[in-house]
Amino acid sequence: MSDTLTADVIGRRVEVNGEHATVRFAGVVPPVAGPWLGVEWDNPERGKHDGSHEGTVYFKCRHPTGGSFIRPNKVNFGTDFLTAIKNRYVLEDGPEEDRKEQIVTIGNKPVETIGFDSIMKQQSQLSKLQEVSLRNCAVSCAGEKGGVAEACPNIRKVDLSKNLLSSWDEVIHIADQLRHLEVLNVSENKLKFPSGSVLTGTLSVLKVLVLNQTGITWAEANRCSPDSQVIRSFL
């Protein structure tokens, strides 16, 4: 990430050198110049302080050594769901395969294409997927609307445990594109659940929803997927 900060980074889940954290502060920390991110680590032993510096409290942590200040360019904010699938499941062709030319007709005009077979092969690989494991792949969002539904229409089981998802809305944005989804595991994601009566989407077709160590309560879990046959929720 660049050193340019925006207000929406607060609450985002991030990864730094294999460790996960939540952004609690973004701004300047005098007397050192330049922007900083204040993060609360999942592992409090990774931190150095409680969110304060030289007597000023910039953010609060649950543990006295749970916080750190980090430069934005050292932080990984993750990738989208479809990109993570492609990175894990699409087999790369060799250089000779990529250079193959093929003649296709567009209208009445023949056109030479390079890599056409490679693109078709990738699409075929994705469309055949039924079970997807993306544990600890830094998935933070759904990505472009409709992209998952078009590329991976047959997915039935997804493991998204230990990623960088920070809100229930992002889970819904992914699940809503998987019309055959039966099993979803989002354990070990620190998820923010909509407050009050506001709830974006439900997972009515799911058979199993796994919510271990997400911070979501049993009552909230039932609101997430009221018709699921099995709901496991361990805080």
**4-44 pLDDT, tens per residue?**
566 689 999 999 999 999 999 999 999 999 999 999 999 99
Q: How far apart are CA 167 and CA 164, in angstroms?
A: 9
DSSP-derived 3-state class of residue 160: coil
> Nearest Cα to 46, choosing from 29, 31, 34, 63?
63
Name the residue with higher pLDDT: 218 or 128: 128
Q: How far apart are CA 118 and CA 65, in angstroms?
A: 50
Give the whole-number percent of the chain exceeding pLDDT 90.
62
pLDDT over threshold 50, residue 49: yes
User: Would you state the pLDDT for residue 117?
Assistant: 47
Contact 211, 232 (CB under 8 A): yes
64-73, 150-159, 210-219: the lowest-pLDDT one: 210-219
pLDDT digits (tens, 9 = 90+) for 188-234: 999 988 776 556 666 777 888 898 999 888 778 777 776 665 455 45
Domains assigned to the chain: 7-74 (2.30.30.190), 79-87+129-232 (3.80.10.10)
